[in-house]
Amino acid sequence: MRSLEGRSGIAAVFDLDGTLYSGHIFRGLVRYHQMHHIRRLPFYAALGAQLAAWPLWLMGIFPETRLRELCLDTMAWVVWGWTKEEAHEAFSWVAREYVAPRLYPEIMDRLRRHQSAGHRVVLVSGTFAPLLAAIGRQLEVPNTVGTPLILRDGHYTGRCERPLCQNEGKWLRLRAHVADETVDWQTSYAYADSHTDIPLLEKVGHPVAVEPDEELATHAREQGWEIVELS
């Protein structure tokens, strides 16, 4: 990795699952439920819906983008009826007990180097916005852009706001997040592991494919992007 110069207007955008750590956020929520048994019916409904969707994707009935949307929508059922206080406790647990032990040291080192250089570090993920904020607090990264959850009468409804922070939605929500600031995207960085993040990676001057899936790896090689393979 080239040296990072402390220049204003440079952003460093990091995806979460598979990029910053080796895991999937839904598994973290599953583990929390297994230990605490909070409102188990919505949890089992979400788990069943996701398990039922996988064969449809494997048979080609669902495109991957639709599968990802469905998984995020059904994952929101897990927090149905939770108060903000209940969610805060659960999300802090997931950040501390599930995400933190699985962080990739090499990628975290890059994140800290961007911070030291004065770059604006942002976590961008389809993960629920309040859960991503809890992970940001755990990692000392205040800027996070996730998928907002709908809150009504002090309780989560089990629904996500549109657009979801996935595919093109990541770029739309990221742009909205930094709309009041000047960011030079041609000198900025983005780190991601999936081909679904290509629309985001293409927006920056320094895209980095981290442990990329096959499609992203092929695209990165064709475009001459940096590829990071982790041990």
pLDDT (tens place) for every residue of the chain, 231 residues total: 443 444 458 999 999 999 999 989 988 988 898 887 666 766 666 666 666 666 665 666 666 676 677 778 888 888 888 999 999 999 999 999 999 999 999 999 999 999 999 999 999 999 999 999 999 999 999 999 999 999 999 999 989 999 999 888 999 999 999 876 789 999 999 999 999 999 999 999 999 999 999 999 999 999 999 999 987
Number of compact structural domains in the chain: 1
Classify residue 174: in a domain, yes or no. yes
Question: What CATH number is attached to the domain comprising 149?
Answer: 3.40.50.1000
Classify residue 6: in a domain, yes or no. no
32 in Cβ contact with 93 (< 8 Å): yes
The Cα–Cα gap between 164 and 148 comes to: 8
Residue 112, exposed/middle/buried by CB under 10 A (0-12, 13-18, 19+)? middle
Classify residue 116: in a domain, yes or no. yes
Is the pTM of the predicted complex or chain greater than 0.85? Answer: yes
Classify residue 88: in a domain, yes or no. yes
Classify residue 86: in a domain, yes or no. yes
Domain limits at 42? 11-228
> What per-residue confidence (pLDDT) applies to 44?
64
Classify residue 41: in a domain, yes or no. yes
Classify residue 220: in a domain, yes or no. yes
The Cα–Cα gap between 166 and 193 comes to: 13
